[in-house]
């Protein structure tokens, strides 16, 4: 089975921007909970109604597609002060044989008072 060679994350900001200093962490874990890829950065400001990315995740474990099927993507957003961000998320995993697994989530909203960590399944 093919191993993970690349992982990217992209965001579409809806009608509420992300401030320049809000940190975003994305982690990809296999079905056993082992981390395969990760990125954590502020990425700068994301204005309303814009696409940002794709951003590369660091590959920490060249996991097989079999192991990543049934895995998940953890998203953590850490605002500094008052920041509400409304957005869509797209994670793309590329494997050595050219195949992909993805995770998508639309209509997300995070702020300094809400749940800042969410998990999404890989398809």
Dihedral (C-alpha) 45, 42, 82, 92: value to the nearest 10 degrees? Answer: 80
> What's the gap between Cα 76 and its chain centre?
8
Q: Where are the domains of the chain?
A: 4-121
Q: Pairing mode, if any, of strands 35-41 and 58-59?
A: antiparallel
pLDDT digits (tens, 9 = 90+) for 66-76: 999 999 999 99
CATH superfamily placement of domain 4-121: PLAT/LH2 domain (2.60.60.20)
26: Cβ contacts below 8 Å, ≥ 6 apart = 9, 38, 39, 40, 57, 73, 74, 75, 76, 91
**Tokens 């993507």 — which residue?**
73
What's this model's pTM, rounded to 2 decimal places?
A: 0.94
Is residue 113's pLDDT more than 80? yes
Q: Read off the DSSP letter of residue 66.
A: H
């Amino acid at each position: 089975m093919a191993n993970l060679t690349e992982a990217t994350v992209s965001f579409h900001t809806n009608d509420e921007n992300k401030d320049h200093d809000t940190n975003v962490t994305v982690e990809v874990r296999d079905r056993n909970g082992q981390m395969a890829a990760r990125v954590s950065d502020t990425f700068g400001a994301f204005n309303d109604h814009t696409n940002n990315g794709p951003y590369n995740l660091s590959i920490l474990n060249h996991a097989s597609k079999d192991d990543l099927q049934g895995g998940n993507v953890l998203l953590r957003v850490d605002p500094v002060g008052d920041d509400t961000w409304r957005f869509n998320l797209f994670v793309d995993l590329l494997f050595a044989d050219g195949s992909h697994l993805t995770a998508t989530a639309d209509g997300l909203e995070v702020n300094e008072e809400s749940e800042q960590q969410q998990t999404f399944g890989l398809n």
